Structure formats: C-alpha cells, structure tokens
C-alpha cells in the first residue's frame, strides 16, 4: 500500500471517530448518531482523508523535485 493512502486512511479514521463519537459527547446539542449518519460520516471522512493525503503527497513531491533542481 502506498504511504499516502495509509496516511489518508488514518486521518479518515481519526475524523470519523471524532465526528461520530467524541464530538457528540462534548457537545450534547449536536446530532444524534444513527446508522445512516454513521454511514454518511464514514463515507465523507474516507473521501476527505484520501483527498487531503493525495493533495499533500503531490505538493511535497513537487517541492522535493524543485529542491533537487
């Protein structure tokens, strides 16, 4: 597995746990956790986590190539 994918999945897992479990405990007025909300939250977390990781991977790859030149 490529490193940026692993980082993206770890970030997505952190976002999912924070948004689904920790945030409702800290802020009781937030939405209740249902299976539907959990599925939507997991999907969004995976997409955003992988997208963020890919963008950072491309950004640092470009900077690394410019530093060599």
What confidence tens digit (pLDDT) does each residue in 48-67 have? 999 999 999 999 887 777 77
**Mean pLDDT of the 15-36 span:** 84
Q: Where are the domains of the chain?
A: 34-69
pTM (2 decimals)? 0.78
pLDDT tens-digit series, residues 29-52: 767 778 998 899 999 999 999 999
* pLDDT on residue 69: 62
**pLDDT of 13 above 80:** yes
* pLDDT on residue 30: 66
As a whole number of angstroms, the distance between CA 64 and CA 42 comes to 32
16, 18, 17: which is closest to 40 by C-alpha?
16
């Amino acid at each position: 597995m490529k490193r940026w994918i692993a980082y993206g999945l770890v970030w997505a897992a952190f976002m999912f746990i924070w948004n689904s479990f920790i945030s409702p405990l800290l802020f009781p007025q937030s939405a209740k956790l249902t299976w539907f909300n959990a599925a939507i939250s997991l999907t969004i977390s995976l997409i955003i986590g992988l997208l963020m990781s890919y963008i950072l991977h491309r950004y640092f790859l470009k900077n690394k190539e410019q530093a060599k030149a």
